[in-house]
């Protein structure tokens, strides 16, 4: 089912025509629980992965305070969705025994510094998600991350991304059973979701606007009680491109590539699809569902923040950067 963002509460371009040149298209992914296949765009679904290509691992230092056995995280999610699920022998799953077994496995691997396999975060086919970069060369973008805290990285205490840009015609045999990490932080293990991509228009948040325009919008907000950023500028939730997430922890700064080019938002991993300030973005088709679909992915970044991935428009070979805000 296609999901549609309601019309914005205000015609922001009519109010502030100077925003016209600052508009960017973003694609809301609208992830919802489902069973995607390797030929589908998805969040945390199976990847179209060449069988001859090694599965990526993370060799960085990890903080293991919040780690649990990965299989236990998945089993617990399955149990919540289906409390009466059974084993292959028709017996009801004993979650108490399952928990004890997985806790033992977690202790077994807690001090293991061996490289850990990454997990899929998103698979995005260009035919489904318009506007992805380097469309003259690629048809598929795959995003993975290490689902553990990394204390010594540029964006510490967060997952670490890896990307693969692909042409599907170059993939022959498929890797059908990729390795799984022994342990992970449950906050970084997304639920498997299908996506219903929808293109919307975004504008910069207030702090990134030219001073005269920012002042005009601030006066309008004070006079009317409206919220430019939450109601008009930035779509919440999991998305691609656009102006990315909201800089809320600290003031914005340019995300510069090592080549000197300013990097642009590529992929936004959010702690939920909407909250009390952004509920006006809830799809029309899900009106009346309250908070039931506010967090289908169940990823938590920091204390409910956003992890924004950037790319260099000069080359996909240049290192990507990420920031939490």
Bridge partners, 271 (sequence order): none
The token pair that represents 12 in the structure block: 């922001």
Bridge partners, 63 (sequence order): 149
* Full DSSP string of 46-100: ----BTTSPPPEE-S--B-TTEEEHHHHHHHHHHHH-TT-B-TTSPBP-HHHHHH
Sequence-ordered list of residues with C-beta below 8 angstroms from that of 168, at least 6 positions apart, any chain: 48, 139, 140
Q: Half-sphere exposure of residue 109, counting CA atoms within 13 Å on the CB side? A: 19
* Full DSSP string of 248-303: -SS-----B-TTSPBPEEEEEEESSS--TTTGGGS-GGGTT-TTTTS-SS---BTT
Q: What is the pLDDT of residue 237?
A: 98
The token pair that represents 199 in the structure block: 């293109």
Beta pairing, strands 140-146 & 32-33: unpaired
The token pair that represents 268 in the structure block: 């936004």
Q: What is the pLDDT of residue 89?
A: 58
Strands (E), 74-185: 116-117, 119-125, 140-146, 160-166, 183-185
The token pair that represents 129 in the structure block: 């998600």
The C-alpha atoms of residue 304 and residue 325 are separated, in whole angstroms, by 9
- Laid out side by side, the sheet with 140-146 consists of 32-33, 193-194, 42-43, 119-125, 140-146, 160-166
Q: What is the pLDDT of residue 101?
A: 59
Q: What is the pLDDT of residue 88?
A: 55
Asked if residues 39 and 171 have their Cβ atoms less than 8 Å apart, the reply is no
Domain chopping of the chain, boundaries: 1-28+199-325, 31-195
The C-alpha atoms of residue 25 and residue 30 are separated, in whole angstroms, by 15
The token pair that represents 107 in the structure block: 């202790």
Q: What is the pLDDT of residue 143?
A: 99
List per-residue pLDDT tens for the chain, 325 residues long: 799 999 999 999 999 999 999 999 999 999 999 999 999 999 999 999 999 999 999 999 999 888 999 999 998 888 776 656 555 556 665 656 655 555 555 555 555 568 999 999 999 999 999 999 999 999 999 999 999 999 999 999 999 999 999 999 999 999 999 999 999 999 999 999 999 999 999 999 999 999 999 999 999 999 999 999 999 999 999 999 999 999 999 899 999 999 999 999 999 999 999 999 999 999 999 999 999 999 999 999 999 999 999 999 999 999 999 999 9
The token pair that represents 52 in the structure block: 């001859």
Three-state DSSP at 193 gives strand
Q: What is the sign of the dihedral through the CA atoms of 181, 182, 188 and 193?
A: positive
Bridge partners, 123 (sequence order): 42, 142
């Amino acid at each position: 089912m296609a999901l549609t963002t309601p019309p914005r509460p205000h015609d922001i371009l009519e109010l502030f025509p100077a925003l016209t040149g600052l508009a960017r298209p973003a694609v809301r992914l609208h992830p919802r629980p489902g069973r995607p296949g390797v030929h589908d765009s998805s969040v945390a679904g199976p990847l179209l992965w060449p069988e001859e290509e090694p599965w990526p691992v993370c060799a960085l230092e990890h903080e293991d305070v919040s780690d649990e056995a990965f299989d236990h995280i998945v089993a617990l999610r399955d149990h919540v969705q289906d409390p009466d699920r059974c084993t292959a022998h028709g017996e009801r799953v004993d979650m108490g025994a399952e928990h004890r077994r997985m806790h033992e496995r977690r202790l077994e691997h807690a001090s293991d510094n061996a490289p850990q396999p990454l997990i899929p975060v998103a698979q995005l086919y260009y035919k489904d998600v318009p506007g992805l970069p380097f469309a003259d060369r690629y048809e598929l973008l795959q995003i993975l991350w290490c689902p553990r805290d990394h204390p010594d990285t540029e964006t510490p205490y967060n997952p670490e991304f890896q990307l693969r840009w692909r042409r599907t015609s170059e993939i022959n045999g498929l890797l059908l059973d990729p390795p799984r990490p022994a342990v992970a932080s449950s906050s970084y293990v997304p639920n498997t979701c299908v996506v219903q991509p929808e293109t919307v228009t975004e504008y910069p948040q207030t702090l990134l606007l030219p001073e005269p325009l920012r002042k005009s919008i601030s006066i309008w907000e004070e006079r009317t009680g409206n919220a430019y950023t939450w109601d008009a500028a930035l779509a919440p939730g999991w998305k691609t491109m656009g102006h990315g997430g909201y800089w809320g922890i600290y003031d914005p700064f340019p995300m510069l590539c090592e080549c000197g080019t300013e990097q642009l938002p590529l992929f936004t991993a959010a702690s939920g699809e909407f909250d009390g300030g952004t509920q006006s973005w809830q799809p029309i088709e899900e009106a009346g569902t309250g908070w039931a679909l506010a967090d289908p992915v169940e990823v938590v970044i920091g204390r409910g923040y956003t992890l924004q991935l950037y790319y260099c428009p000069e080359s996909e070979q240049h290192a990507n950067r990420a920031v939490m805000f």
